[in-house]
Amino acid sequence: MDVWLGKTFGKYQVKKFIGKGTIGSVYQAEHIESKKIFAIKIFDLRLSHSLRQKLHLLDEAKTLQHDNIVKIYERGESHSTFYMIMEYIEGKSLYALIEEKKRLSSRHVLSIAKGIAKALVYSHKQGIVHRDIKPTNIIITKDQKIKITDFGMAKIVNSVSDISQLDKIISTVFYVSPEQAMGVKKIDSRTDFYSLGITLYQALTGQIPYPGRTPLQVLQQHISSPLPKMNKLHSDIPLEMEKIVVKLTAKKREERYQTAEQVLEAIAVCNTKITRRKETFSALPTWAVSGLVFFVLFFVSFTLAKKMLKAPENQQKETQFSIEKIEIQNSLQQDKDNFSKDSMMCLEIYWSVTYLSQKELSKIFTIVFEGRNLNPITQNLGEAQIGQQYHKYCVSLHNFAYGSHTVRAGFIIGNIVRQKQVSFTIPPPVKKVRHIQITPKKITLVPQSLYKFSYQLTDENNDVVKTTKPIRWTVDNGSIDNGVYTAGQNEGTFRVTVSCPSYNIKDSAIVVVEKNKDSKRSGWFGERMPKGMVKASTRGEYIWQKDQSVMAFVPAGKFWLGSNYQENEMPVQQVYLDSFYVDKYEVSQKQYRNFCKATKRKCPPQPKWSSPDHPIVNISWQEAQKYARWAQKRLPSEREWEKVAKGGFYIPDWKTDKASIPLMLNPRPRRAYPWGDQLPNEHGIYRCNYVSNNKWGERHLDGYKRGAPVFAFSRWKSPYGCVNLSGNVWEWCADLYRDNHSSKPHKKPHTKYVVRGGSWYNHSKGCRTTRRHHGLVNQKSEFIGIRFCKSAQ
């Protein structure tokens, strides 16, 4: 099933898939309040990182308000990607119309060209060049209105440089202007005229003028090859129409039309001439028309007979072929629409060739590819033959993702392209619940304290599964609500049980409730504090006496690790961690100098602009470990660091005044930043020390031109009360770096270690809670500091 169907983006709910483009997919969406229908373009998740700095270009396109331009209403960010709300148009693309009718009449093409030219007149006056005029970007509505879509898209992503799939070849490189093909930076309105000319050529002839076998070959043809004569392909194309196309597609910009008004005027003149010619012909007497027709037929027959005597038979007319149908077969099931990962998908393609014009040059091949998991596959089928033909291609579905997939087959004979597509679905397997596991298995609490238990359902292979069946919690003493256990006043050993009656499975944990003999060892959450730690006067804070650091408590439980923002942050998964303590602030220069003094070692040089309250920097991972051993603490694991920044499923309820701080449901468990989802500079309020407004020249606007003291931005804390997790300095973690959360560490041991949090040298994207980076084990940088953890008892 499509991952976006049913999801809500802002005030819009995704209803139906429409189509997939170069950088995203288009869906039908419904406004939640007004129930009006819109189109929504959801950008590819893998491109979200690179698009963030370019999407402002869409704001230019939003200003375009014209009858021949698809309106853009708004853009936004949700579900770790970007989206754009557009006018919903019922109709079909010019490309689909050409595929359906093979070629269009001159009058029809003139009508389409007029609508496109009107849109370009308006957009060019606004100073906006489309840069990507092509049949797939031209929509013809049910009432035959012309609409141009994707204004601003070509400027956002350079699709010409990444051509690896058939749909991208057909929809992009065949229409680029010579200046685009040569990589000229200054592109003006005349590049739209060239692409319009190629589009009109295809509409009139049914084929593209430059069908090179490789993208590089196509680009070279745009630059240097003359435009093939349209009258040689189809003699019914008016000469006036061909002159317009030739002028539009001139290689030099100076030789094309110079303004869209000139294009519109030329179209109007051409239409007038064709109309007058038709009226003149229809005004002739019947006997004159009959005689003229007889004369024309006699002349044509004589000319053809003469050519047949001089030329081989296979050069009399154009190659004619079509794809009859495409079917998919399942090797394991009779139902062709549903597959499994253990099956083979067999693509059966039927096509027919009715005529070959140049048999010695007519090689036919097919390109078959799948939208997500299959790289383009090219197979040479040898010489084309007249008649019905058949080809079968099989591929294993073992590495395919669950959900819907689209397979396309395309054929080329000479310079004629045909393609069709078919869809199939791989439904996820139904997993049976076999076990339920509670965590932790044993915990010690003080009376009337709270603790959140979690559970996990697994199948016979111990894979995690989900269920909608009810889960039941029971306890011998105290109370429990959805896994949150409140200890009673009685001391003793008790049992907490979680069960799923529908599957007849259960599991238990032991809870030891006892009063602290030493009340000084009882923490803010009712937990037993480790020796050497005392509660601070500020609620929720602790003092670790060894290095006098202020620490916060992170209760045990699950949290969301990772995001879909970048590949190295994937996959998103639930992770359980035991409770621990973490430094509220980064280690300051003053704290580190105390360590150097106590251990009689030299303190590393610090930036001249910094103060004792700034974070210690120029510390390697190895030196950080030495401090940790002296302070009887440790570097946080990467998972611990991310939980501190995001919060677990349950976080402290700081608003209550109970003796033991209770837990509450985390309202934003996948937050982008420690304080929530607001950008670091939203509404002009700066929430961390970074490159202000993502502009290097404005980095002082947050109050600090470089680094900030460790206690700066104390208002913008994480759910556990920690400060400066975003920006200021990167922070060393204990883990070796790996390419993503599911891969193994790099083969060369002890080289790269994880750093998290971003620094004052980073833009906002580097300060996200899920942002991952690395440093060499012996690397010393003024952008990397330290923060430590302490295991709970």
Is the confidence at residue 121, as pLDDT, over 60? yes
In the numeric block, which tokens belong to residue 585?
A: 């602030």
Answer whether residue 623 is part of any domain.
yes
Q: How many domains does the chain have?
A: 6
Q: Alpha-carbon distance 243 to 249, whole Å?
A: 10
What tens digit of pLDDT does each residue of 244-290 get?
999 999 999 999 999 999 999 999 888 888 887 765 545 556 555 55
CA 100, 101, 105, 108 torsion: positive or negative? negative
Answer whether residue 528 is part of any domain.
no
Answer whether residue 23 is part of any domain.
yes
- Which CATH number fits the domain that encloses residue 209? 1.10.510.10
Answer whether residue 529 is part of any domain.
no
Instruction: Report the pLDDT value the prediction gives residue 52, as an integer from 0 to 100.
Output: 55
DSSP 404-423: EEEEEEEEEETTEEEEEEEE
299 lies in the same domain as 329: no
What tens digit of pLDDT does each residue of 145-201 get?
999 988 766 555 443 333 333 333 334 688 889 888 877 778 888 999 999 999 999
Q: Which of 331-340, 531-540, 585-594 has the highest mean pLDDT?
A: 585-594
What tens digit of pLDDT does each residue of 743-776 get?
777 655 557 899 999 999 888 888 999 999 999 9
With vertex at residue 597, the alpha carbon angle to CA 596 and CA 603, rounded to the nearest 5 degrees, is 35
117 lies in the same domain as 61: no
Least confident range of 4-8, 400-404, 544-548: 400-404
Greatest CA span in the chain, whole angstroms? 121
Note the residue count of the chain.
793
- Which CATH number fits the domain that encloses residue 506? 2.60.40.10
What tens digit of pLDDT does each residue of 498-542 get?
999 989 999 999 998 887 655 567 889 888 899 999 999 899 999
Answer whether residue 526 is part of any domain.
no
Q: Alpha-carbon distance 288 to 258, whole Å?
A: 43
**Mean pLDDT computed over every residue of the chain:** 81
> Which of 131, 184, 138 lies closest to 157, judged by CA?
131
Answer whether residue 250 is part of any domain.
yes
- In this structure, the number of other CB atoms found within 10 A of the CB of residue 454 comes to 18
Percent of the chain, pLDDT > 90?
37
What secondary structure, in 3-state letters, does 92-147 show?
EEHHHHHHHHCCCCHHHHHHHHHHHHHHHHHHHHCCCCCCCCCHHHEEEECCCCEE
117 lies in the same domain as 224: yes
388 lies in the same domain as 438: no
Q: Please, which pLDDT band fits residue 306 given cuts at 50, 70 and 90?
A: low
301 lies in the same domain as 442: no
**Final residue of a domain: which of 253, 280, 307?**
280
Task: Give the residue numbers spanning the domain of 402.
Answer: 320-426
Instruction: Report the pLDDT value the prediction gives residue 219, as an integer from 0 to 100.
Output: 81
510 lies in the same domain as 543: no
Q: Please, which pLDDT band fits residue 618 given cuts at 50, 70 and 90?
A: very high
300 lies in the same domain as 176: no
Instruction: Report the pLDDT value the prediction gives residue 394, as an integer from 0 to 100.
Output: 74
- Which CATH number fits the domain that encloses residue 615? 3.90.1580.10
Instruction: Report the pLDDT value the prediction gives residue 161, as an integer from 0 to 100.
Output: 36
Answer whether residue 530 is part of any domain.
no
Q: Please, which pLDDT band fits residue 355 given cuts at 50, 70 and 90?
A: low
Is the confidence at residue 624, as pLDDT, over 90? yes
Q: Alpha-carbon distance 204 to 198, whole Å?
A: 10
**Final residue of a domain: which of 451, 480, 515?**
515
685 lies in the same domain as 782: yes
683 lies in the same domain as 737: yes
646 lies in the same domain as 717: yes
Answer whether residue 3 is part of any domain.
no
Is the confidence at residue 202, as pLDDT, over 50? yes
In the numeric block, which tokens belong to residue 470?
A: 């009810």
**Final residue of a domain: which of 483, 515, 547?**
515
780 lies in the same domain as 647: yes
728 lies in the same domain as 741: yes
